[in-house]
Amino acid sequence: MNAPEYVVVTVDERHIDRIQQVADALRQAGLEVNQILGTGGIITGNVEPSKRASLASVPGVVAVEHDQAVQLAPPDSRIQ
């Protein structure tokens, strides 16, 4: 079993007012929801790689993207 990956789900404009229902459907499809950003139409969470493709078929979902962490050097670092 692969480790869950962190994903960002974009919800289309027509479903933003029903973003909670979209989040519920994503949970049913295997997403562990971490955050719902209703105004922006974004839902973040963790999903098993084998279930990621099924998230895209949830009504109202525009995109499912793998999120990558970015580490910036401290401001006083020689490398910026």
* Residues 35-66 pLDDT 10s: 999 999 999 999 999 999 999 999 999 999 98
The pTM score is 0.83
Domain extent for 53:
5-66
* Residues above pLDDT 90, as percent of the chain: 76
Contact yes or no for 61/55 (Cβ under 8 A): yes
Classify residue 46: in a domain, yes or no: yes
Classify residue 10: in a domain, yes or no: yes
Q: Say whether pLDDT at 80 is over 70.
A: no
> Structurally, how many domains does the chain consist of?
1
* pLDDT the model gives residue 68: 74
Classify residue 47: in a domain, yes or no: yes
Classify residue 32: in a domain, yes or no: yes
Classify residue 27: in a domain, yes or no: yes
Task: Sort 27 into a burial class: Cβ within 10 Å, 0-12 / 13-18 / 19+.
Answer: middle
CATH code of the domain covering residue 60: 3.30.70.260
Classify residue 40: in a domain, yes or no: yes
Q: Say whether pLDDT at 1 is over 70.
A: no
Average pLDDT over residues 9-19: 96
